[in-house]
Structure 1
Amino acid sequence: MTRAAVEAGFEQFVDDAIRATAEAFAVGNALGGTDGPPGVVDRLVSNSAAVERSVVQPELESYRRDVLAQFDAVLDAVESPEPWDAHADRVLELDRYRVAMRDSLSSSRRETVESALLDRQRGLADAVAPMVSADADAFWPAVTETLSVSEARTVVDDHFEFTRPLEAFPDAFAFATTVDPADVLGGLGGLLAGGLPTLRVEFTDEAARAMRRAEERVSEQAHREIDRRF
Protein backbone atom coordinates (compact mmCIF):
# COMPACT_ATOMS: atom_id res chain seq x y z
CA MET A 1 0.00 0.00 0.00
CA THR A 2 2.79 2.44 0.85
CA ARG A 3 4.58 1.89 -2.46
CA ALA A 4 1.50 3.27 -4.18
CA ALA A 5 1.56 6.24 -1.81
CA VAL A 6 5.23 6.95 -2.55
CA GLU A 7 4.56 6.64 -6.27
CA ALA A 8 1.67 9.08 -5.96
CA GLY A 9 3.78 11.59 -4.05
CA PHE A 10 6.63 11.39 -6.55
CA GLU A 11 4.23 11.62 -9.48
CA GLN A 12 2.69 14.77 -8.03
CA PHE A 13 6.16 16.28 -7.68
CA VAL A 14 6.97 15.38 -11.29
CA ASP A 15 3.65 16.75 -12.55
CA ASP A 16 4.24 20.04 -10.72
CA ALA A 17 7.74 20.24 -12.18
CA ILE A 18 6.51 19.50 -15.71
CA ARG A 19 3.82 22.15 -15.42
CA ALA A 20 6.30 24.72 -14.12
CA THR A 21 8.81 23.81 -16.84
CA ALA A 22 6.18 24.35 -19.53
CA GLU A 23 5.39 27.76 -18.08
CA ALA A 24 9.06 28.76 -17.95
CA PHE A 25 10.05 27.35 -21.36
CA ALA A 26 10.60 30.05 -24.01
CA VAL A 27 10.13 28.80 -27.55
CA GLY A 28 12.09 31.73 -28.98
CA ASN A 29 15.12 30.80 -26.89
CA ALA A 30 14.92 27.17 -27.98
CA LEU A 31 14.64 28.04 -31.67
CA GLY A 32 17.16 30.87 -31.55
CA GLY A 33 20.17 28.87 -32.72
CA THR A 34 18.32 26.66 -35.19
CA ASP A 35 19.47 26.66 -38.81
CA GLY A 36 16.74 26.50 -41.42
CA PRO A 37 15.38 28.02 -44.59
CA PRO A 38 15.05 31.81 -44.46
CA GLY A 39 11.96 32.93 -42.63
CA VAL A 40 10.86 29.50 -41.44
CA VAL A 41 12.37 29.75 -37.99
CA ASP A 42 10.98 33.27 -37.63
CA ARG A 43 7.56 31.97 -38.65
CA LEU A 44 7.77 29.23 -36.01
CA VAL A 45 8.81 31.74 -33.34
CA SER A 46 5.88 33.97 -34.25
CA ASN A 47 3.59 30.94 -33.85
CA SER A 48 5.03 29.91 -30.49
CA ALA A 49 1.66 28.65 -29.23
CA ALA A 50 1.56 26.11 -32.07
CA VAL A 51 5.14 25.05 -31.32
CA GLU A 52 4.30 24.62 -27.65
CA ARG A 53 1.26 22.51 -28.50
CA SER A 54 2.86 20.39 -31.22
CA VAL A 55 6.44 20.08 -29.98
CA VAL A 56 7.04 21.22 -26.41
CA GLN A 57 4.08 19.52 -24.74
CA PRO A 58 4.72 16.11 -26.39
CA GLU A 59 8.39 16.33 -25.40
CA LEU A 60 7.46 17.11 -21.80
CA GLU A 61 4.92 14.29 -21.71
CA SER A 62 7.54 11.88 -23.04
CA TYR A 63 9.97 13.07 -20.37
CA ARG A 64 7.28 12.57 -17.71
CA ARG A 65 6.60 8.99 -18.81
CA ASP A 66 10.31 8.16 -18.79
CA VAL A 67 10.92 9.63 -15.33
CA LEU A 68 7.97 7.77 -13.83
CA ALA A 69 8.95 4.51 -15.54
CA GLN A 70 12.45 4.79 -14.13
CA PHE A 71 11.10 5.54 -10.66
CA ASP A 72 8.98 2.41 -10.94
CA ALA A 73 12.15 0.43 -11.67
CA VAL A 74 13.84 2.08 -8.68
CA LEU A 75 10.96 0.99 -6.45
CA ASP A 76 11.22 -2.54 -7.84
CA ALA A 77 14.85 -2.51 -6.69
CA VAL A 78 13.85 -1.18 -3.26
CA GLU A 79 11.35 -3.99 -2.74
CA SER A 80 13.49 -6.75 -4.23
CA PRO A 81 15.58 -9.13 -2.11
CA GLU A 82 18.23 -8.95 -4.82
CA PRO A 83 21.10 -6.48 -4.55
CA TRP A 84 20.98 -3.12 -6.33
CA ASP A 85 23.39 -4.30 -9.01
CA ALA A 86 20.81 -6.82 -10.22
CA HIS A 87 18.55 -3.91 -11.17
CA ALA A 88 21.19 -1.44 -12.35
CA ASP A 89 20.94 -2.22 -16.07
CA ARG A 90 17.17 -1.78 -16.09
CA VAL A 91 17.33 1.47 -14.12
CA LEU A 92 20.01 2.87 -16.42
CA GLU A 93 18.17 1.73 -19.55
CA LEU A 94 15.22 3.92 -18.54
CA ASP A 95 17.34 6.98 -17.73
CA ARG A 96 16.39 9.91 -19.96
CA TYR A 97 19.80 11.49 -19.44
CA ARG A 98 21.52 8.35 -20.69
CA VAL A 99 19.43 8.50 -23.85
CA ALA A 100 20.41 12.15 -24.29
CA MET A 101 24.15 11.58 -23.95
CA ARG A 102 26.08 13.05 -26.88
CA ASP A 103 27.43 10.56 -29.41
CA SER A 104 30.75 12.42 -29.37
CA LEU A 105 31.54 11.38 -25.78
CA SER A 106 34.53 9.11 -25.39
CA SER A 107 33.93 5.65 -23.95
CA SER A 108 35.65 6.59 -20.67
CA ARG A 109 33.61 9.79 -20.37
CA ARG A 110 30.43 7.85 -21.10
CA GLU A 111 31.25 5.34 -18.37
CA THR A 112 31.87 8.19 -15.91
CA VAL A 113 28.53 9.80 -16.69
CA GLU A 114 26.62 6.51 -16.58
CA SER A 115 28.17 5.68 -13.22
CA ALA A 116 27.05 9.06 -11.86
CA LEU A 117 23.54 8.56 -13.23
CA LEU A 118 23.32 5.18 -11.50
CA ASP A 119 24.64 6.61 -8.23
CA ARG A 120 21.94 9.28 -8.46
CA GLN A 121 19.21 6.69 -8.76
CA ARG A 122 20.68 4.54 -6.01
CA GLY A 123 20.63 7.57 -3.73
CA LEU A 124 16.97 8.04 -4.58
CA ALA A 125 16.30 4.38 -3.78
CA ASP A 126 18.00 4.70 -0.39
CA ALA A 127 16.05 7.88 0.34
CA VAL A 128 12.59 6.46 -0.34
CA ALA A 129 13.19 2.97 1.07
CA PRO A 130 12.06 3.92 4.62
CA MET A 131 8.83 5.40 3.24
CA VAL A 132 8.10 2.27 1.20
CA SER A 133 8.42 0.23 4.41
CA ALA A 134 6.17 2.53 6.45
CA ASP A 135 2.69 1.62 7.63
CA ALA A 136 1.14 4.84 6.34
CA ASP A 137 -0.95 4.63 3.18
CA ALA A 138 -0.42 8.21 1.94
CA PHE A 139 2.74 10.02 0.93
CA TRP A 140 3.09 12.76 3.54
CA PRO A 141 2.07 10.55 6.47
CA ALA A 142 4.75 8.09 5.28
CA VAL A 143 7.26 10.95 5.24
CA THR A 144 6.46 12.15 8.76
CA GLU A 145 6.36 8.59 10.08
CA THR A 146 9.83 7.67 8.85
CA LEU A 147 11.88 10.87 8.44
CA SER A 148 12.95 13.83 10.52
CA VAL A 149 12.46 17.37 9.26
CA SER A 150 16.08 17.60 8.09
CA GLU A 151 15.87 14.20 6.38
CA ALA A 152 12.68 15.23 4.57
CA ARG A 153 14.38 18.40 3.36
CA THR A 154 17.34 16.35 2.15
CA VAL A 155 15.04 14.07 0.16
CA VAL A 156 13.56 17.09 -1.60
CA ASP A 157 16.85 18.90 -2.18
CA ASP A 158 19.07 15.96 -3.07
CA HIS A 159 16.76 13.36 -4.58
CA PHE A 160 13.54 14.94 -5.85
CA GLU A 161 15.50 16.97 -8.36
CA PHE A 162 16.05 16.78 -12.09
CA THR A 163 18.85 19.08 -13.19
CA ARG A 164 21.88 17.88 -11.24
CA PRO A 165 23.31 15.82 -14.13
CA LEU A 166 23.19 18.94 -16.29
CA GLU A 167 25.13 20.84 -13.66
CA ALA A 168 27.67 18.07 -13.12
CA PHE A 169 28.20 17.30 -16.83
CA PRO A 170 27.11 20.37 -18.80
CA ASP A 171 28.77 19.17 -22.01
CA ALA A 172 27.51 15.60 -21.92
CA PHE A 173 23.88 15.88 -23.01
CA ALA A 174 21.94 17.07 -26.04
CA PHE A 175 18.18 17.45 -25.83
CA ALA A 176 16.91 17.73 -29.38
CA THR A 177 13.91 16.98 -31.56
CA THR A 178 12.86 17.31 -35.18
CA VAL A 179 10.23 19.82 -36.21
CA ASP A 180 8.19 19.62 -39.39
CA PRO A 181 7.12 23.22 -40.10
CA ALA A 182 4.08 22.07 -42.07
CA ASP A 183 2.78 19.92 -39.19
CA VAL A 184 3.39 22.63 -36.60
CA LEU A 185 1.94 25.57 -38.49
CA GLY A 186 -1.08 23.73 -39.88
CA GLY A 187 -3.76 25.31 -42.06
CA LEU A 188 -2.59 27.91 -44.55
CA GLY A 189 0.73 28.24 -42.74
CA GLY A 190 1.26 24.51 -43.15
CA LEU A 191 0.44 24.68 -46.84
CA LEU A 192 2.94 27.50 -47.30
CA ALA A 193 5.54 25.49 -45.38
CA GLY A 194 4.82 22.29 -47.31
CA GLY A 195 7.86 20.76 -48.93
CA LEU A 196 10.28 22.40 -46.50
CA PRO A 197 12.72 20.05 -44.77
CA THR A 198 12.30 19.15 -41.13
CA LEU A 199 14.45 21.10 -38.70
CA ARG A 200 16.63 19.61 -36.00
CA VAL A 201 16.15 21.73 -32.91
CA GLU A 202 18.52 21.32 -29.98
CA PHE A 203 17.03 22.91 -26.89
CA THR A 204 19.48 21.78 -24.21
CA ASP A 205 20.24 25.24 -22.84
CA GLU A 206 16.62 26.33 -22.75
CA ALA A 207 15.51 23.03 -21.22
CA ALA A 208 18.14 23.43 -18.50
CA ARG A 209 17.08 27.01 -17.77
CA ALA A 210 13.37 26.17 -17.65
CA MET A 211 13.91 23.03 -15.56
CA ARG A 212 16.01 24.92 -13.03
CA ARG A 213 13.29 27.54 -12.67
CA ALA A 214 10.71 24.80 -12.26
CA GLU A 215 12.84 22.92 -9.77
CA GLU A 216 13.22 26.02 -7.60
CA ARG A 217 9.48 26.55 -7.65
CA VAL A 218 8.43 23.01 -6.72
CA SER A 219 11.20 22.77 -4.14
CA GLU A 220 9.86 25.85 -2.41
CA GLN A 221 6.38 24.34 -2.47
CA ALA A 222 7.69 21.08 -1.00
CA HIS A 223 9.54 22.90 1.79
CA ARG A 224 6.39 24.81 2.67
CA GLU A 225 4.54 21.50 2.85
CA ILE A 226 7.27 20.08 5.11
CA ASP A 227 6.90 23.08 7.42
CA ARG A 228 3.15 22.47 7.53
CA ARG A 229 3.39 18.73 8.13
CA PHE A 230 6.04 18.60 10.87
Structure 2
Amino acid sequence: MMLTMEHILRRAYPVLPVLVIDDVERAVGLAQALCAGGLNVIEVTLRTPQALEALKVIRQEVPDLIVGAGTVIHAEQFAQAIDAGAQFAVSPGFTERLAQAAQETELPYLPAVMTPSEVLAALEYGYRSLKLFPANGGASVRMLNSFKGPFTGISFCPTGGVTRDNLLSYLSLPNVACCGGTWIAPASLVQAQAWDQITQLAREACAMAGHLESLT
Protein backbone atom coordinates (compact mmCIF):
# COMPACT_ATOMS: atom_id res chain seq x y z
CA MET A 1 0.00 0.00 0.00
CA MET A 2 1.28 3.42 -0.97
CA LEU A 3 1.55 5.67 2.05
CA THR A 4 -0.15 9.05 2.04
CA MET A 5 0.48 11.86 4.50
CA GLU A 6 -3.08 11.50 5.77
CA HIS A 7 -2.49 7.82 6.55
CA ILE A 8 0.86 8.56 8.18
CA LEU A 9 -0.62 11.19 10.51
CA ARG A 10 -3.41 8.82 11.52
CA ARG A 11 -0.79 6.22 12.39
CA ALA A 12 1.23 8.86 14.26
CA TYR A 13 -1.56 9.63 16.73
CA PRO A 14 -1.13 10.85 19.40
CA VAL A 15 2.53 11.90 19.12
CA LEU A 16 5.02 12.12 16.30
CA PRO A 17 8.42 12.10 18.06
CA VAL A 18 10.78 14.72 16.63
CA LEU A 19 14.26 13.26 17.07
CA VAL A 20 17.71 14.80 16.92
CA ILE A 21 20.21 11.92 16.66
CA ASP A 22 23.92 12.66 16.87
CA ASP A 23 25.09 9.10 17.57
CA VAL A 24 24.06 6.33 15.18
CA GLU A 25 24.83 3.75 17.88
CA ARG A 26 21.84 5.02 19.87
CA ALA A 27 19.43 5.21 16.94
CA VAL A 28 18.03 1.68 17.05
CA GLY A 29 17.63 1.60 20.83
CA LEU A 30 15.79 4.91 20.72
CA ALA A 31 13.47 3.78 17.93
CA GLN A 32 12.74 0.48 19.67
CA ALA A 33 11.95 2.29 22.92
CA LEU A 34 9.40 4.54 21.20
CA CYS A 35 7.88 1.60 19.35
CA ALA A 36 7.59 -0.35 22.62
CA GLY A 37 5.72 2.62 24.07
CA GLY A 38 3.04 2.39 21.43
CA LEU A 39 4.19 4.98 18.90
CA ASN A 40 4.19 3.99 15.25
CA VAL A 41 5.78 6.92 13.41
CA ILE A 42 8.97 8.88 14.08
CA GLU A 43 10.68 11.87 12.49
CA VAL A 44 14.48 11.90 12.31
CA THR A 45 15.47 15.53 11.82
CA LEU A 46 18.26 16.30 9.37
CA ARG A 47 20.03 18.52 11.90
CA THR A 48 23.13 16.42 12.44
CA PRO A 49 25.69 14.84 10.12
CA GLN A 50 24.61 11.43 11.42
CA ALA A 51 20.90 11.88 10.71
CA LEU A 52 20.65 10.15 7.34
CA GLU A 53 22.69 7.17 8.48
CA ALA A 54 20.59 6.92 11.64
CA LEU A 55 17.42 6.99 9.55
CA LYS A 56 18.77 4.24 7.31
CA VAL A 57 19.70 2.01 10.24
CA ILE A 58 16.31 2.47 11.91
CA ARG A 59 14.50 1.54 8.70
CA GLN A 60 16.55 -1.62 8.47
CA GLU A 61 16.36 -2.67 12.11
CA VAL A 62 12.89 -1.49 13.22
CA PRO A 63 10.62 -2.30 10.27
CA ASP A 64 7.41 -1.82 12.28
CA LEU A 65 7.99 1.94 12.41
CA ILE A 66 7.14 4.48 9.73
CA VAL A 67 10.21 6.71 9.56
CA GLY A 68 10.40 10.20 8.08
CA ALA A 69 13.04 12.85 7.52
CA GLY A 70 12.46 16.14 9.30
CA THR A 71 13.90 19.64 9.02
CA VAL A 72 13.99 19.31 5.23
CA ILE A 73 14.93 22.83 4.13
CA HIS A 74 16.70 22.23 0.80
CA ALA A 75 15.17 20.67 -2.32
CA GLU A 76 18.04 18.21 -2.74
CA GLN A 77 17.33 16.73 0.70
CA PHE A 78 14.27 14.94 -0.64
CA ALA A 79 16.41 12.66 -2.81
CA GLN A 80 18.86 12.16 0.06
CA ALA A 81 16.02 11.22 2.38
CA ILE A 82 14.64 8.71 -0.11
CA ASP A 83 18.07 7.14 -0.54
CA ALA A 84 18.24 6.67 3.24
CA GLY A 85 14.83 4.99 3.26
CA ALA A 86 12.62 7.84 4.46
CA GLN A 87 8.91 7.22 4.00
CA PHE A 88 7.91 10.87 4.33
CA ALA A 89 9.44 14.33 4.74
CA VAL A 90 8.69 17.26 7.03
CA SER A 91 9.72 20.91 6.71
CA PRO A 92 9.65 23.79 9.22
CA GLY A 93 8.07 26.02 6.55
CA PHE A 94 6.59 26.07 3.06
CA THR A 95 8.11 27.23 -0.24
CA GLU A 96 7.23 26.58 -3.87
CA ARG A 97 10.64 25.02 -4.50
CA LEU A 98 10.22 22.52 -1.67
CA ALA A 99 6.70 21.69 -2.81
CA GLN A 100 7.91 21.08 -6.35
CA ALA A 101 10.76 18.87 -5.13
CA ALA A 102 8.34 16.84 -3.03
CA GLN A 103 6.03 16.37 -6.00
CA GLU A 104 8.90 15.35 -8.27
CA THR A 105 10.04 12.65 -5.85
CA GLU A 106 6.46 11.66 -4.89
CA LEU A 107 7.53 11.45 -1.25
CA PRO A 108 4.65 12.13 1.16
CA TYR A 109 5.30 15.62 2.47
CA LEU A 110 4.23 17.60 5.53
CA PRO A 111 5.03 21.30 5.04
CA ALA A 112 4.69 23.75 7.91
CA VAL A 113 2.48 26.81 8.02
CA MET A 114 1.84 29.56 10.52
CA THR A 115 -0.62 31.95 8.88
CA PRO A 116 -3.85 31.69 6.88
CA SER A 117 -2.00 32.88 3.77
CA GLU A 118 0.52 30.04 4.13
CA VAL A 119 -2.33 27.56 4.50
CA LEU A 120 -3.83 28.88 1.26
CA ALA A 121 -0.48 28.57 -0.51
CA ALA A 122 -0.14 24.96 0.61
CA LEU A 123 -3.71 24.23 -0.47
CA GLU A 124 -2.91 25.49 -3.97
CA TYR A 125 -0.34 22.67 -4.19
CA GLY A 126 -2.86 20.14 -2.96
CA TYR A 127 -1.66 19.72 0.62
CA ARG A 128 -4.40 19.01 3.11
CA SER A 129 -2.16 17.71 5.92
CA LEU A 130 -0.04 20.48 7.39
CA LYS A 131 2.33 21.05 10.26
CA LEU A 132 1.67 24.11 12.43
CA PHE A 133 5.04 25.49 13.46
CA PRO A 134 5.89 26.82 15.91
CA ALA A 135 3.04 25.82 18.17
CA ASN A 136 3.05 28.34 20.98
CA GLY A 137 0.76 27.03 23.68
CA GLY A 138 -2.61 28.66 24.15
CA ALA A 139 -2.21 31.09 21.26
CA SER A 140 -1.75 28.23 18.79
CA VAL A 141 -4.65 26.28 20.26
CA ARG A 142 -6.87 29.31 19.66
CA MET A 143 -5.48 29.74 16.14
CA LEU A 144 -6.16 26.11 15.23
CA ASN A 145 -9.65 26.44 16.68
CA SER A 146 -10.27 29.47 14.46
CA PHE A 147 -8.95 27.57 11.42
CA LYS A 148 -11.83 25.06 11.71
CA GLY A 149 -14.25 27.37 9.94
CA PRO A 150 -12.44 28.52 6.79
CA PHE A 151 -10.20 25.48 6.38
CA THR A 152 -12.54 22.51 6.49
CA GLY A 153 -11.03 19.12 5.80
CA ILE A 154 -7.49 20.23 6.73
CA SER A 155 -5.55 18.23 9.34
CA PHE A 156 -2.78 19.79 11.38
CA CYS A 157 0.20 18.45 13.29
CA PRO A 158 1.23 21.22 15.72
CA THR A 159 4.92 21.03 16.61
CA GLY A 160 7.45 23.11 18.52
CA GLY A 161 6.07 23.99 21.92
CA VAL A 162 3.86 20.94 22.48
CA THR A 163 4.53 19.33 25.84
CA ARG A 164 3.02 16.66 28.04
CA ASP A 165 1.16 19.42 29.89
CA ASN A 166 -0.59 20.91 26.86
CA LEU A 167 -0.84 17.82 24.63
CA LEU A 168 -4.52 17.24 25.28
CA SER A 169 -5.38 20.88 24.55
CA TYR A 170 -4.26 20.25 20.98
CA LEU A 171 -5.57 16.70 20.58
CA SER A 172 -9.04 17.79 21.69
CA LEU A 173 -9.35 19.91 18.53
CA PRO A 174 -11.08 18.12 15.64
CA ASN A 175 -8.60 19.43 13.05
CA VAL A 176 -5.52 18.12 14.90
CA ALA A 177 -4.42 14.69 13.66
CA CYS A 178 -1.45 14.32 16.03
CA CYS A 179 1.23 16.43 17.69
CA GLY A 180 4.94 16.59 17.06
CA GLY A 181 7.11 16.62 20.13
CA THR A 182 10.67 16.46 21.39
CA TRP A 183 9.70 15.95 25.05
CA ILE A 184 8.91 12.32 24.35
CA ALA A 185 12.63 11.59 23.88
CA PRO A 186 14.62 14.33 25.63
CA ALA A 187 18.32 14.60 24.87
CA SER A 188 19.30 13.79 28.45
CA LEU A 189 17.51 10.43 28.34
CA VAL A 190 18.82 9.61 24.87
CA GLN A 191 22.39 10.33 25.93
CA ALA A 192 21.92 8.14 29.01
CA GLN A 193 20.31 5.45 26.84
CA ALA A 194 17.45 5.42 29.34
CA TRP A 195 15.22 3.49 26.97
CA ASP A 196 12.80 2.32 29.65
CA GLN A 197 12.08 5.90 30.66
CA ILE A 198 11.49 6.94 27.05
CA THR A 199 9.15 3.97 26.60
CA GLN A 200 7.27 5.12 29.69
CA LEU A 201 6.91 8.67 28.33
CA ALA A 202 5.47 7.24 25.13
CA ARG A 203 3.06 5.02 27.04
CA GLU A 204 1.91 7.96 29.15
CA ALA A 205 1.14 10.01 26.04
CA CYS A 206 -0.82 7.13 24.53
CA ALA A 207 -2.72 6.62 27.78
CA MET A 208 -3.61 10.32 27.97
CA ALA A 209 -4.89 10.25 24.40
CA GLY A 210 -6.85 7.07 25.10
CA HIS A 211 -8.54 8.71 28.08
CA LEU A 212 -9.44 11.72 25.93
CA GLU A 213 -10.99 9.48 23.29
CA SER A 214 -13.07 7.72 25.93
CA LEU A 215 -14.61 11.05 26.90
CA THR A 216 -15.72 11.94 23.38
Same-fold status (TM-score > 0.5): no
More helix by share: 1
Ranked by relative contact order (alpha carbons within 8 Å, sequence separation 6 or more), the top structure is 1
Of structures 1 and 2, the larger Rg is shown by 1
Which of the pair is proportionally richer in strand?
A: 2
